[in-house]
Amino acid sequence: MRNITLGLSGLTVPAIAVGCMRITSVEKTEAERFIKTALELGAFFFDHADIYGQGECEERFAEAIGMNPRVRESICLQSKCGIRSGVAFDFSKEHILAAADGILKRLKTEYLDVLLLHRPDALMEPEEVAEAFNILHNRGKVRHFGVSNHNPYQIRLLTKYVRQPIVVNQLQLSITNSSMISQGLHVNMSEQDAVDRDGGVLDFCRLKDITIQTWSPLQYGFFDGPFLGNKKFPKLNAKIDEIAAKYGVSNTTIAVAWLLRHPAQLQPVIGTWKISRFAECVKAAEIKLSREEWYALFIAAGNTLP
């Protein structure tokens, strides 16, 4: 597995992260086999969130991997907090501290490598976030911090108060959900693709050395389903299949390779718990698409060029 540096953390991590939101969809023995295979493939970075299964996903993971000090030191663990069921979002100091303690207890670990704030909180008081981060960092409970689904100004507001660098921003990105890329190609144009929906977050993160982790890298819409093999995307699938045949790999591999080709050093978070499909995703780290192939896929997905 090819590795990348995670933002300004100094951590060397796999180019592909394991998303654990669906771990409860498989039996314990299957989860154990999956994790064992992922580690053998070099995928030792695991992404969680306290909202996934209302904490059950973290518990299931700790059980499946057989968490102990030796195992813990061989992996990177990331989780997210800030979404409260029945409330909305909560970045208060009290909630962040309580959420972090709950995550650590469920994962059976004394520390997280990375903790992300999960979706923006309109009532955020950045001074409180800074206090919470300082307490967690000083007590050794969290080593690095990041955000999810934040735009540049929300990050800048945080960093005015937060002492630790923001090392990750987890954002939705796939061939079919690539507005953060397309808007940069349509600067100063009047068409729909020129609409800036995220404040230039892609370039901002590159400027600030913040790693973008891409969620739903094989989905279209907002969890509307996979685009691979989907009749809604005939041109895209035909082009993916053509390129896959050239490289002798699956369509899944090419879809992930499209993300990895971007110079931003993206880290796709892969949510499948099927061993064969995950292995196809990992293989993408061995392929570098040509410029012509990358743009051909971008256009086949329905994106336009000025």
Cβ contact 200:152 at 8 Å: yes
∠ CA(191), CA(192), CA(197), 5° rounding?
A: 130
Cβ contact 272:281 at 8 Å: yes
Which residue carries 């009047």 as its tokens? 190
Residues marked active site are found at: 52
> Which value, to the nearest 10 degrees, does the dihedral of the CA atoms of residues 30, 33, 39, 42 take?
-80
Residue 9: count other Cβ atoms within 10 Å of its Cβ. 21
Q: How many whole angstroms from its chain centre is CA 265?
A: 12
Return the CA Rg of the chain.
19
Strands 83-84, 88-89: pairing kind: antiparallel
Residue 55: helix, strand or coil by DSSP? helix
∠ CA(20), CA(24), CA(27), 5° rounding?
A: 120
Position 245: which residue type?
Answer: A
The pair of structure tokens assigned to 230 is 């989907």
Q: How far apart are CA 13 and CA 214, in angstroms?
A: 15
> Which value, to the nearest 10 degrees, does the dihedral of the CA atoms of residues 229, 297, 14, 44 take?
-10
